Chains A and B, each alone.
Chain A
Amino acid sequence: QQQVKQSPQSLIVQKGGISIINCAYENTAFDYFPWYQQFPGKGPALLIAIRPDVSEKKEGRFTISFNKSAKQFSLHIMDSQPGDSATYFCAARGAYLGQNFVFGPGTRLSVLP
């Protein structure tokens, strides 16, 4: 019930294309869903996050789509750039977890020039 599933494991996209990464969860007590971006040799950094009371959040080229009934959320990267090449993690947090998060296994994105 605490698990967050993430797909695909890896993704290759041409420059200018759309990158889509999907996550799914089981526990309806989750109330905060962040996405983290991690470059090689660096720690993860918060990219964008959403609460379940909205269906979409957009920040620049990055959009989270949230489907509460399906218990799924996804990250869309529009006009993907080589500089977006990184590993992306979805995560979830719920009040029952205290201050803790559960993370998906990560997606390695490569954007070809």
Chain B
Amino acid sequence: DVKVTQSSRYLVKRTGEKVFLECVQDMDHENMFWYRQDPGLGLRLIYFSYDVKMKEKGDIPEGYSVSREKKERFSLILESASTNQTSMYLCASKSDSYEQYFGPGTRLTVT
């Protein structure tokens, strides 16, 4: 069964902290994605990766970075968390076929 897991379901951080969100997939997929989800805005792509050690900016990369050292793991990093980064963060993975699989999400609150 397809599985994408995210390290935390809920996270509360203070402004200025460095935040790591981890995502692991067990499907040997080449492609992995980080989205943020906000009410009325749908899913917006932050970063994506087509292969190990490669990354591409999505639509809203500002304030974020990513790391992909292993094929199954894709990390999202908030270098200095700000309150406007309070959101639901979703990781997804897909093979080169069309279907995309999402993790359960991490609800991040920055105070």
Contact = CB atoms under 8 A, between A and B. Distances in A.
B104 A42 contact: yes
21 contacts: A6-B42, A34-B99, A36-B102, A41-B104, A41-B105, A42-B104, A42-B105, A43-B92, A44-B90, A44-B102, A49-B99, A89-B42, A89-B43, A99-B48, A99-B94, A100-B45, A101-B100, A103-B42, A103-B44, A105-B40, A106-B40
A43 B103 CA distance: 5
**Do most interface residues of chain B lie in helix, strand or loop, or is the interface mixed?**
strand
Contacts of B96: 99
B45 A99 contact: no
A81 B110 CA distance: 37
A6 B40 CA distance: 10
Contacts, number: 51
Given A49-B98, A93-B98, A105 B48 contact: no
Contacts of A113: none
Contact of B40 (A9, A93, A98): A9
Given A43-B4, A43-B102, A44-B102, A99 B50 contact: yes
B50 A45 contact: no
A46 interface: yes
A46 B98 CA distance: 11
Contacts of B58: 100
B48 A45 contact: no
Contacts of B94: 99
Contacts of B100: 34, 46, 101
Nearest to A104: B42
Given A36-B102, A42-B104, A101-B100, 4 more contacts: A41-B105, A43-B102, A49-B99, A106-B40
